[in-house]
Chain A
Amino acid sequence: MGFMLGDILESLGQPVGLRHCLVFAALLFAVGLYGVLTRRNAIGILMALELMLNAVNANLVAFWRYGPGPREALNGQVFAVFVITMAAAEAAVGLAIILALFRLRRTVNADEVNLLKG
Chain B
Amino acid sequence: MGSVVFYFFAFAALACAVIVVTSRHIVRSVAALFVCMAAMAGIYFFLSAPFIGAMQLMIYAGGITVLLIFAVMLVRRAAGGQVEHASRNPGGAIVVVIGFVGWMAPAAWMAFGPRQMPPVEPRVAGVESLADDLIRHYVPAFEIASVLLLVAMIGAVVLTLRAKQREGPPTDDE
8 Å CB interface, A13-64 against B: 13-24, 26-35, 37-41, 43-44, 46-48, 50-51, 54, 57-58, 61-62, 64
Say yes or no: B130 contacts A28, CB within 8 Å: no
Say yes or no: B112 contacts A54, CB within 8 Å: no
Identify which of B30, B83, B152 contacts A47 (C-beta below 8 A): B30
Q: Say if the beta carbon of A113 comes within 8 Å of chain B.
A: no
Q: A30-B97, A34-B94, A54-B40 are in contact. Are A18 and B112 (CB under 8 A)?
A: yes
Q: Say if the beta carbon of A117 comes within 8 Å of chain B.
A: no
> Number of A residues whose C-beta is below 8 Å from B?
80
What is the interface of chain B mostly: helix, strand, loop, or mixed?
Answer: helix
A108 CA / B89 CA spacing, docked (Å): 18
8 Å CB interface, A63-108 against B: 64-66, 70-71, 73-75, 77-78, 80-82, 84-93, 95-100, 102-104, 106, 108
Say yes or no: B124 contacts A51, CB within 8 Å: no
Write the chain B residue with the least CB distance to A101: B163
What is the interface of chain A mostly: helix, strand, loop, or mixed?
Answer: helix
Say yes or no: B55 contacts A17, CB within 8 Å: no
Interface residues in chain A, defined as those with a beta carbon under 8 Å from any beta carbon in chain B: 2-3, 8, 11-24, 26-35, 37-41, 43-44, 46-48, 50-51, 54, 57-58, 61-62, 64-66, 70-71, 73-75, 77-78, 80-82, 84-93, 95-100, 102-104, 106, 108-109, 111
